[in-house]
Amino acid sequence: MSDTFLSAEEVAELTDIRVGKHGKTREELQVEWLRTSGIPFWTSARGRPIIARAAIIGREAAEQPKKKWQPKVLAMR
């Protein structure tokens, strides 16, 4: 497979959705999960979510908590 995009198996592992249910396909459920999780993706002509590997790798560094700004007067305590 491509190093640029996650494989179908990797998407299934990421979303933990391997089969469809409740009248929806696996791909439809994966797309819903990705949207609610805020993970950027494209949809192929067949409805399969396409995720750039860089979107997942880059998230690791971006998810670190950011320090809130604080005036120097309060930081001196």
| Backbone torsions φ then ψ of 21, nearest 5 degrees | -160, 165
Q: Which residue has the higher pLDDT, 51 or 76?
A: 51
Helix (H) or strand (E) holding 55: helix 53-62
Residue 23 above 80 pLDDT? yes
Residue 76 above 90 pLDDT? no
| Ramachandran bin of 16, using left for φ above 0, alpha for ψ from -120 to 50, beta for the remaining angles | left
- Tokens describing residue 55: 């979107």
Each residue's pLDDT tens digit, 28-75 = 999 999 999 999 999 999 999 999 999 888 755 555 666 778 788 876
All structural domains of the chain with their residue ranges: 8-75
